[in-house]
Structure 1
Amino acid sequence: MTDEEAPGAGPRQPGGESGPAGGHRPDAPAPRTGPWTRRWRRVPPAGVDAALVLLAFVDAYVPPFDLTAGNILSTAAACGALVLRRRFPLVVFLASLPAALLLDVVVAPIAALFTLADRSRDRRVMAACAFLFAAVSAVPWPLSAYTPDEQTWALVDFVYLLASAAAPVLLGQLVQARRDLSRQLAETEQAREHERALHAQAAVARERAQLAREMHDVVSHQVSLIAVRSAALQVAAHEAEAREAAGTIRALSVDTLDELRHMVTLLRASGGSGSELTPQPRLADLRRLVETSGVEAELTGCLPPEIGTPAQRTVYRTVQEALTNARKHAPGARATVELWRAEGRFGVTVVNTPPTRPGLPLPGSQQGLLGLRERAELLDAELTTGPTPEGGFRVRLSIPERHG
């Protein structure tokens, strides 16, 4: 065997580089090998070939035989062809058969048969070669020099030689199977590493998307409320110092909303829709949300308290976003928040009237409704938004009953 035929090693291509059939890619994890395998790999292929050719010549020439031209040529061809056994295993094996027929040569055909079994995947060819080797080695040559009794014993020799030929074939197949298994384990480990990296990236993306939603739903809600209240204070205050302080608060709130819009946009660019991780708001918090929204709003209807937490949170965020948009874009408008349940679905409808005074120049990130649609998709729900015939705006969330 050569260094690349050792267990766990891949076939070597011309030029000494491992090919894709059995070598290891630079980015693939190297399979675990034992100390003997590592030492065997350090032996140069040329040294292994030279030792094998020398052993084949010793096997052929040490026993006394007739130095005829046929014997010398067949032996030299069988032994010398072993240098090419890795590139042309079948041809080298066939070249060793004349020496096996004329002389009791074993090393050359056995080595060629092992290499053929290690490199070939056609089991019919390997079985035929093993049968051919046993037949050639068992046939008495020349046939006229043997008595009928001796020729009968040739059949017994054929059986033993066939069993001997099965050994290198099975060993070559074992080395091939182990090499394939080593390559598959390396590819599996590489695939697992890639899968773990993708899973980590997906987890980060989900967390970023959730953080973007939370920043928009919670922080922007509170900051926009501060901006609205400070603007009202700036108009109603009688003292110049109070109006200046209220104007400063309003300007800082507007700048904060603008920065928050950029942060949410960046987070959404690197994130994606994901499942909820830490649900907090519930239906019981809706009344307080409506009362502190800064909009004259009325809460009607009710939903059962046993509705699932993700659905409760989606309803809460829908109401929060709808009231925030009404406060920012429809100053002075009134809103109606209706909780409903009918025909296998439940949800909420928020409708606000047209504005009664000019709106404040607050920045809009266009991320709120996008976040609501993402939440609705997680529950297979329907979110519809649009203006009303009276000039107001309507937001309606419809969730299937199975999520209740």
Structure 2
Amino acid sequence: MTVPRAWWARLPDPVIDAVVVAVAVVDVLLSLVDASPVEQAMAALACAALVVRRRFPLPVFLLTLPAIMQAIVVAPFAALYTLAARSRDRRLLVACVIMFALASEASWLLNDLTSDDRTWTLVNFFYALAAVAVPVLLGQLVQARRDLARRLVEIEEAREHERLLHSQAVLTRERAQLAREMHDVVSHQVSLIAIQAGALQVAATDPDFKEGACTIRSLSVDTLDELRHMVTLLRASGGRASELTPQPTLADLHRLVTTSGIDAELTGELPPGTSTTAQRAVYRTVQEALTNVRKHAPGATATVRLWHADDGAAFGVTVTNTPPTRPSLPLPGAQQGLIGLRERAELLGGTFESGATAEGGYEAILRIPAGTD
């Protein structure tokens, strides 16, 4: 469900920028009544820089610092808010707050002050720090709200996908149950009808009776063929892992990587003659690893590397992803997928390992000994 935004949030960015620049110009006109040409030029530059504050927030903030010493606050506050709303570097924001406060008291610090003036300058410095913290905290709040909204959309999409999978699983069970009932009950009864009709056809002496028994037997055989065809279709459409539904192999791996919804790259190759069972294990490992990247590392890139040892003793796949570029909310999970991959590897006599990398990403490695059937 999409929450409607406030009217001011629906305004185009150029309109908001124009309003901010207009307010900053009014602030300059009220503050610099008898200013020198140099001061007016610095104030005009600070106001003009606000037009590109969304693309270059840090340079724009630095350009507005000289205006602070002239008691101009709208342009520096707007630039600092934009920087706080777009930067995730907390140390940079703290440094900008300190620079803002120092610039606001620079005119006092450059003059010869008495002890009382120094005390009030220090007090005013801390007041300035408290005032500057307001746009920084507001910008960080807007950034956190934006990240939260993005994650809520991703969670809702994941829930919708889970609901779809659940409905498909229910439908699969119902189709499988229906197929079993048709095979075990209906087909059995129709087979008995065909057998009895055949026996009557052989034993009958009356031509009309014999023809009727032949018709019954023929209809029963045709019905039995139709039932068997329907059972085959039900089992195949139900997604049962049987001979009716082909399992994925290496031929399907490229499509899996390209349609995973993340920036992923497939490299390397497995040795020729790899068994179908081993190919299926590699496919399932890549599928689970890419799913985990999409769920737990938003914005990360992944590399899927197929490999085989130089001595031919083993082969496998390594899936590595970079750290996430966006913050993620903790999602509940029992890691059943990783447990299933480890059990699948053990059935083939291999190993499955996973864990964090030194760069902050994650890596999953499947190793299968050569000669596995």
Query: Shorter-chain-normalised TM-score: which range?
Result: 0.5 to 0.7
Please name the residue that 1:207 is paired with.
174
Please, which of 29, 45, 53 is the counterpart of residue 61 of structure 1?
29
Please name the residue that 2:273 is paired with.
none
Q: Which amino acid aligns with 1:221?
A: H
The aligned length equals: 241
Deviation at residue 270 of structure 1 after TM alignment: 0.3
**CA 62–111 in structure 1, closer or farther in 2 if over 3 Å, else same:** same
SS at 1:62 equivalent: helix
SS at 1:140 equivalent: helix
Please name the residue that 2:117 is paired with.
150
Q: Which amino acid aligns with 2:25?
A: F
SS at 1:67 equivalent: coil
Q: Which amino acid aligns with 2:204?
A: A
Please name the residue that 2:59 is paired with.
91
Contact kept, 8 Å, 1:140 with 1:151, in 2: the verdict is no
Counterpart check, 1:82 vs 2:53: no
Contact kept, 8 Å, 1:53 with 1:82, in 2: the verdict is yes
RMSD over equivalenced CA pairs, Å = 1.9
Deviation at residue 187 of structure 1 after TM alignment: 1.5
CA distance in 1, matches of 2:114, 2:26: 30
CA distance in 1, matches of 2:114, 2:51: 38
**1:129-278 aligned within 5 A:** 129-140=96-107, 143-144=110-111, 149-273=116-240
Counterpart check, 1:107 vs 2:74: yes
SS at 2:46 equivalent: helix
Contact kept, 8 Å, 1:119 with 1:176, in 2: the verdict is yes
Contact kept, 8 Å, 2:97 with 2:129, in 1: the verdict is yes
Where relative contact order (Cα < 8 A, 6+ residues apart) is larger, the structure is 1
CA distance in 2, matches of 1:151, 1:53: 35
Please name the residue that 1:122 is paired with.
89
Deviation at residue 272 of structure 1 after TM alignment: 3.7
Scaled by the length of structure 2, the TM-score of the pair is 0.61
Q: Which amino acid aligns with 1:234?
A: Q
Please name the residue that 1:23 is paired with.
none
SS at 2:31 equivalent: coil
Deviation at residue 237 of structure 1 after TM alignment: 1.9
Contact kept, 8 Å, 1:140 with 1:146, in 2: the verdict is no
Contact kept, 8 Å, 1:216 with 1:264, in 2: the verdict is yes
Deviation at residue 98 of structure 1 after TM alignment: 0.9
Deviation at residue 132 of structure 1 after TM alignment: 0.8
**1:242-391 aligned within 5 A:** 242-273=209-240
CA distance in 2, matches of 1:182, 1:132: 32
Contact kept, 8 Å, 1:209 with 1:272, in 2: the verdict is no
CA distance in 1, matches of 2:177, 2:43: 78
Deviation at residue 141 of structure 1 after TM alignment: 5.5
CA distance in 1, matches of 2:39, 2:206: 123
Deviation at residue 93 of structure 1 after TM alignment: 0.4
Scaled by the length of structure 1, the TM-score of the pair is 0.57
Q: Which amino acid aligns with 1:74?
A: M
Deviation at residue 74 of structure 1 after TM alignment: 1.1
Higher Cα radius of gyration: 1
Q: Name structure 1 gaps, 5 residues minimum.
A: 1-28, 275-404
Q: Which amino acid aligns with 1:212?
A: A
CA distance in 2, matches of 1:254, 1:64: 101
**CA 235–80 in structure 1, closer or farther in 2 if over 3 Å, else same:** same
Contact kept, 8 Å, 1:89 with 1:112, in 2: the verdict is yes
CA distance in 2, matches of 1:54, 1:253: 87
Deviation at residue 249 of structure 1 after TM alignment: 1.2
**1:23-34 aligned within 5 A:** 31-33=2-4
CA distance in 2, matches of 1:59, 1:46: 20
Q: Which amino acid aligns with 2:162?
A: E
Contact kept, 8 Å, 1:117 with 1:170, in 2: the verdict is yes
CA distance in 2, matches of 1:100, 1:67: 14
Q: Which amino acid aligns with 2:3?
A: R
